Amino acid sequence: MQALKLLILGIRGVPAKHGGFETFAEKLALFLVKRGWQVTVFCQEDGDGNSWESTWEGVRRIHIPVSRAGAAGTVIFDWKATCRALSEHGLFLTLGYNTALFNLMQRLRKQTNVINMDGIEWRRDKWGVVAKTWFWLNERAGCWIGNHLVADHPRIKDHLATRVRADKITMIPYGGDEVLSADAALLTAYGIEAGGFSVIIARPEPENSFLEMVRAFSSKRRAHKLVVLGNFTPERNAFHRQVMDAASDEVIFPGAIYETPVVQALRFYSRFYLHGHRVGGTNPSLVEALGAGCAVIAHDNHFNRWVAGPEAAYFKDEADCARLFDRLLADDAALQRMKAASRARFYERFTWEQVLSEYEELLTRWYPKN
């Protein structure tokens, strides 16, 4: 029997280096290769010249060089990758709809393309009018062009169902790794110890409630530390400067940390994991916090409530967040209940085994018959 072929578009490549979609693509590719699939991933490279191929852990990689950096470079890469994909055969999985208009070429070529529609990108505060318009148009285009759509959250499915019929959408959330232990010695470099700190891990954008959470924590002495991960550039970014100016001396800004063992230790040994995201579907960092058994304090919205469950603590605004710190920092019984509930919710819906098996079932169902 001929092997099933999956080709993955929409990410920078594998192994994962850049975030949630890359991590998912790596997990899915390795999972399917072990199940007998032939998997190809299109990978963005810096530079000029022709594309080339390589193999990584049984995954075929098509490397496409792009000389431009930033968002423009990503758009150019997506265009080149989609053009290159027109000569390939199999089933396509496109992660994200940011350049879904390009996928029209595949639809016209009668290639079967499943599109993961990600979050509602055009609602994010960080984008200007031009970018929001581009994302809005591409969301509409993706809904129409994709043969089938994946939503990573029930509310994202509800949103997409206002554009297309509901039976064109399958809801499969993001997955995460279970973390049952971590190296406490890695905390020493940051001057913290197990249970003596809480942590924020996110992109420092206004829509992620950084300012509200830092102000709430800094409103009084806590005899506790708040570790705020993220790439802060206060010399160039007024919002970053505002957040850092609002912080008390109990707040630590170690910068962006990409070493997985360190990030796992920060989650595993934190008293609370703070999640301020106001826009989006199933957020990878929140799922990973559940997998590490973190007690979660999150912004109160339907995205976070579905992921973290009813036992997490939720805040509407800065004052609300401050009250949670006042109450929960000294409540060990509540802390243990919240940690146990996070693990239970993780096992219920977000293990990689569940998520990847659901993807394989969906992809098999949509595999082209000819």
Each residue's pLDDT tens digit, 96-146: 999 999 999 999 999 999 999 987 776 776 778 888 898 899 999 999 999
CATH fold of 184-349 reads Rossmann fold (3.40.50)
The pair of structure tokens assigned to 218 is 């800094």
pTM, rounded to two decimals: 0.93
* Segment 164-179 mean pLDDT: 96
Residue 328 has pLDDT above 70, yes or no: yes
Query: Which pLDDT does position 239 carry in this prediction?
Result: 95
Average pLDDT over residues 172-184: 96
Task: Find the range with the poorest average confidence among 13-27, 80-94, 181-195, 311-325.
Answer: 13-27
Question: Which CATH number among 3.65.10.10, 3.40.50.2000, 3.40.50.300, 3.40.50.2300 corresponds to the domain 5-174+352-365?
Answer: 3.40.50.2000
Cα–Cα distance list, 328 to 186, 258, 268, 289, 296 (Å): 26, 29, 18, 18, 11
pLDDT at 6 (0 to 100): 98
Mean pLDDT of 150-164: 95
pLDDT at 118: 84
- Starting at the edge strand that comes first in sequence, how are the strands of the sheet with 148-151 ordered? 52-56, 59-66, 38-46, 5-9, 91-95, 112-116, 148-151, 169-171
Distance CA 13, CA 49 (A): 18
User: pLDDT digit string (tens) for 235-281?
Assistant: 999 999 999 999 999 999 999 998 999 999 999 999 999 999 998 88
Q: Residue with structure tokens 């759509």?
A: 149
What is the predicted pLDDT for the residue at 280?
Answer: 82
- Stretch among 199-208, 317-326, 341-350 having the lowest mean pLDDT: 199-208
Check residue 127 and give its pLDDT.
Answer: 72
- Cα four-point dihedral sign 155, 157, 162, 165: negative
129-133, 204-208, 222-226, 303-307: segment of lowest average pLDDT: 129-133
Q: Exposed e or buried b for every residue in 150-184, given b needs 16+ CB within 10 A?
A: bbbbebbbebbbeebeeeebbbbbbbbbebeebee
Average pLDDT over residues 26-54: 96
- Checking if the pLDDT of 58 tops 90, the result is yes
Question: Is 128 or 174 the better-scoring residue by pLDDT?
Answer: 174
pLDDT of res. 323: 98
Using the structure block, give the residue that is written with the tokens 């850049």: 18
| Token output for 184 | 């406490």
pLDDT band at 1 (very low <50, low <70, confident <90, very high): low
Q: Within the chain, which residue ranges are assigned CATH 3.40.50.2000?
A: 5-174+352-365, 184-349
Q: Cα dihedral sign for 154, 157, 162, 168?
A: negative
